[in-house]
Amino acid sequence: MAGSASTSPDDIGWHLYTREDCGLCEVAEALLKAEGCRYHTVNIDRSLTLIQRYGERIPVVVNLAAGTELQWPFTAEDLRSREP
C-alpha cells in the first residue's frame, strides 16, 4: 500500500474511527501506518451519530472506495485484501 497518514481528502483511502484514550485505536493506527495506508482518523466522540453507530466497536476502519468496514481485531492481511 502506498502513502501514510493523510489530511488531504483526495488522498485518503480509509477512515479510522477512534475515541480518546483508546489503546486499541493506537494499535490499529500503528498497523495502518506500518502498512503505508492512506487514512484519516475520526474521533467518534465528536458526533452523536457516530457514537450511536460505532459505540464500543471501535476501532473500525472503513474503506472509502468500497464502503466496507473492518472491526477490531483486524490484521495487515485484512487491510491488504481490502485496499482502496
Average confidence (pLDDT) over 40-46: 96
Look at residue 3 in the predicted model and tell me its pLDDT: 39
Q: Is the pLDDT of residue 50 over 70?
A: yes
Mean per-residue pLDDT for 46-62? 95
* H or E segment and range at residue 17: strand 14-18
pLDDT for position 10: 55
Fold for 9-81, please state it: Glutaredoxin (3.40.30)
Q: Would you place residue 4 in the very low, low, confident or very high pLDDT band (cuts 50, 70, 90)?
A: very low
Kindly state the cell numbers that stand for 70: 473492518
pTM of the model: 0.82
**Which has more confidence, 83 or 7?**
83
Alpha-carbon span 15 to 10, nearest angstrom: 13
Which residue ranges make up each domain of the chain? 9-81
